A and B are shown apart, each in its own frame.
Chain A
Amino acid sequence: MEEKMEKNPEIVGFACSFCTFKASEMAGSLRMKYPDGVKLIQVPCSSRVDPAFIIKAIFEGADGVFVAGCHPGDCHFIKGNYYTRRKIAALKEQLDAFGLKDKLRLFWVSAAEARRFVEKVTQMYNEIKEKKNAR
């Protein structure tokens, strides 16, 4: 049996510049490792993420998209992340109809949580990779 080439997923992440993006900077400074398939786009607040961006990323071939913002209650803009939470929940329902629900994730990472950032993205990457290679 010929061994199949392993497929690596591409993941696009929208990172709030006040928390997750800072955490990712810190993860880099601390030389933590995470898969190179994870690439970030910096946004001022997770609420800037238009559902259209997520749909666009999925249509253009992203295996996964995540939106990451500050923990509930910690938003620099007071309650931007509450809007994000509702928006993502609504979008997930829509995506479910197309069987794409698993591609989208939302998580909260504070600026101090470099380790959590790495854990979250690595876990997401590995789960998506497993599914991608199972086909």
Chain B
Amino acid sequence: MKTGIFICHCGHNIKHTVDVKRLSEYFKKYPQVTVSEDYPFVCSEPGQDMITESIEKHGLDRVIIASCAPSLHGELFKDLLRKKDVNPFLLRRVSIREHCSWVGDDIDRNTEKAKRLILSGLYGAAHYVPLEEKQVEVNKSALVIGGGVSGLSAALFLSKMGMHVYLVEMGEELGGHVRELKSVWPSRVSGAGIVEEMEKELKARSNVEIFTSTKLSNFEGFFGNYTATLDTPAGEKKITVGGVVLSIGFSPFDPHIKPELGYGRDPRIVTTLDLEKAGDSLNLPDKPRVAVLHCIGSRDEQIGRPYCSRICCINALRASEAIKEKYNDSYVESFYMDVRAHPRGGEEFFEDTQEKGVLFTRANIGEIIPTPAGVVLRGEDTLLGETFEREFDLVVLSIGMSPPETSKEMATLLKISLDKDKFFLEAHIKLRPFDTAVKGIFIAGSCSGPKDVEESINHGRASALKLYGFLNLGYAFVDPFISIVDPKRCSGCRMCEQACVAKAIKFDEEKRVVHVEEAACMGCGLCNATCPSSAISLKGYVDSIIDDEISALLEAI
């Protein structure tokens, strides 16, 4: 066996707290190690060249790269092996940055830890065997779940690129929350106008099928060949799709959760959405006194919503502006924690609103008490440190975004993760913001965290583009980490068959042994741990690999 170990300095990131020279010297004593080098940036072009040259020069059959976490640069390093006709599954990545140099300060102890981690990589990789990536055919069609702005833009994009699109909407009509908006900031066009334009364009296309009042009831399969069961008003319908864009949006925060706000107990306490719908029907005096409250259901840890909803400051500003424009002599006071008018032009809008005469008071509102004369706000001015009580004719609550009500249900159906706030979790917040952990399932719009209309449309298009990139190839490679049965060892006890969640294990009545259906196996390894005869192994994570990794972490060296 000829192993090459390449240790990355990552500039100062690793070198600063790990003695990389000592490491590369240390591993030279192992007989299976042919090359042991350290280099400032292994991922740089000269670094890559160093690896490919070493593979060629020494005929390496195992490559160990000790650098950043394996989720970063995974394909990049695999490609180096592919270039030199070495099976990419003979590569082992050892994370000595995220798991070592960044989490400890002592250089000696960090170096010892890095030594152990690389050793476990070395021992584990000794049991690696070449694996073949499986090529599967991809169905050139997409399922878009949720017909809000992000879903509509994703569906439109995919359909224009020639993919067959199924658009599923839970409600009776497309458009989501945007349809209810009378004017969308900053363009001031109506929300219905935006969605109707997209809807019209979509309905004119022949490769789009739209299902309203429809729910996803079942979802199974794997990338390129997912089978979705739709619960339509006309009955159940099964479709096969290559991938999914999930854009189920958000639920507006329900102010009933905070009873001290008095919402629902008095018609003079409304949300920004109510105000939008009410329009002219508001019954206000000529010189109304109006309070606008920011951050309702946002940045509030007590009710489990510690995040900023991003849209509500602009909504609050819009509400105050609208009232000021309609009632010139009105008294509008805005109670805020911080004004985060972050979108382009937002800060200018904030200043405009102030110039129009809206007062801004930094305050915590403790209680809202409806009285016959007016609605009394009781709170604390956080700049002056004084408590106050003020009377208003109307109180507008600028509500934030809560995760969609069906997020948990959807996460279970699609087997994707939720973040701590119950929004959908992206694969990587910076590098893969549209992907989920499941290949071929993308998230778009505010179901992955609060977004405004512009961002949602962009997010929808971006996810659609990423999905299109996968589907258009017509084929895909899937990880070969699936289970395999050794029929000579199998006793036919069928314990694995019961354990397998994917129902990938089938019993052969004639031979009295089980076999694995490769296409269905998800690669969890449960069967491997269950089998009393050690007859099933999960490729890439076979018993001997993990056994030796344990030894490497603990044996005396």
- Do A and B bind? yes
**Partner-B contacts on A (CB < 8 A):** 10, 12, 18-19, 22, 24-25, 27-29, 31-36, 39-45, 47-53, 56-57, 60-62, 70, 73-74, 76-80, 83, 87, 110-113
Bound CA span A25–B412, Å: 24
Assess whether B550 is in contact with A45, with CB atoms less than 8 Å apart. Answer: no
> Is the C-beta of B499 less than 8 angstroms from some C-beta in chain A?
yes
Bound CA span A1–B97, Å: 41
Bound CA span A18–B416, Å: 10
Assess whether A44 is in contact with B541, with CB atoms less than 8 Å apart. Answer: yes
Given A25-B69, A25-B98, A77 contacting B417 (CB threshold 8 A): no
| Apart from A10-B553, A10-B554: 19 A-B pairs, beta carbons within 8 A | A12-B553, A22-B71, A31-B103, A32-B103, A33-B104, A35-B104, A36-B109, A36-B110, A39-B117, A43-B541, A44-B524, A44-B538, A48-B538, A50-B543, A76-B417, A77-B524, A80-B501, A110-B420, A112-B425
The residue in chain B whose Cβ has the minimal distance to the Cβ of A78 is B501
- Those of B46-70 within 8 Å (CB) of chain A: 69-70
Bound CA span A29–B112, Å: 20
Q: DSSP class of A's interface residues: helix, strand, loop or mixed?
A: loop
Measured between beta carbons, the chain B residues less than 8 angstroms from A70 are 417
Bound CA span A28–B141, Å: 39
> Is the C-beta of B481 less than 8 angstroms from some C-beta in chain A?
yes
- Those of B66-89 within 8 Å (CB) of chain A: 69-71
Given A10-B553, A25-B98, A41-B553, A33 contacting B103 (CB threshold 8 A): yes
Assess whether A41 is in contact with B522, with CB atoms less than 8 Å apart. Answer: no
A65 smallest CB distance to B (angstroms): 9
Assess whether B554 is in contact with A61, with CB atoms less than 8 Å apart. Answer: yes
Bound CA span A112–B424, Å: 11
Measured between beta carbons, the chain A residues less than 8 angstroms from B555 are 60
> Is the C-beta of B346 less than 8 angstroms from some C-beta in chain A?
no
A-B contact pairs, 8 of them (CB 8 A): A28-B97, A33-B104, A39-B113, A45-B524, A77-B415, A77-B501, A112-B419, A112-B420
**Partner-A contacts on B (CB < 8 A):** 69-71, 95, 97-100, 102-106, 109-110, 112-113, 116-117, 120, 411-412, 415, 417-420, 425, 437-438, 481, 499, 501-502, 522-526, 528-530, 538, 541, 543, 546-547, 549-551, 553-555
Measured between beta carbons, the chain B residues less than 8 angstroms from A50 are 528-529, 543, 546
Assess whether B437 is in contact with A18, with CB atoms less than 8 Å apart. Answer: yes
Bound CA span A87–B120, Å: 25
Assess whether B554 is in contact with A80, with CB atoms less than 8 Å apart. Answer: no
Bound CA span A129–B97, Å: 25
B495 smallest CB distance to A (angstroms): 11
Bound CA span A70–B417, Å: 10
Interface contacts (Cβ under 8 Å), in number, total 139
Measured between beta carbons, the chain A residues less than 8 angstroms from B97 are 28
Bound CA span A134–B525, Å: 39
Assess whether B99 is in contact with A113, with CB atoms less than 8 Å apart. Answer: no
Q: Which of B69, B412, B525 contacts A28 (CB 8 A)?
A: B69
Measured between beta carbons, the chain A residues less than 8 angstroms from B70 are 42
Bound CA span A42–B113, Å: 16
B498 smallest CB distance to A (angstroms): 11
Bound CA span A105–B206, Å: 57
Bound CA span A50–B547, Å: 10
Assess whether A33 is in contact with B420, with CB atoms less than 8 Å apart. Answer: no
A119 smallest CB distance to B (angstroms): 13
Bound CA span A97–B116, Å: 31
Measured between beta carbons, the chain B residues less than 8 angstroms from A112 are 419-420, 425
The residue in chain B whose Cβ has the minimal distance to the Cβ of A29 is B98
A94 smallest CB distance to B (angstroms): 15
Given A10-B554, A74-B417, A24 contacting B99 (CB threshold 8 A): yes
The residue in chain B whose Cβ has the minimal distance to the Cβ of A14 is B546
Measured between beta carbons, the chain B residues less than 8 angstroms from A31 are 102-103
Assess whether A34 is in contact with B417, with CB atoms less than 8 Å apart. Answer: no
Bound CA span A44–B502, Å: 15
Assess whether A28 is in contact with B98, with CB atoms less than 8 Å apart. Answer: yes
Assess whether A53 is in contact with B113, with CB atoms less than 8 Å apart. Answer: no
B94 smallest CB distance to A (angstroms): 10
Assess whether A44 is in contact with B525, with CB atoms less than 8 Å apart. Answer: yes
Assess whether B418 is in contact with A41, with CB atoms less than 8 Å apart. Answer: no
Assess whether A24 is in contact with B98, with CB atoms less than 8 Å apart. Answer: yes
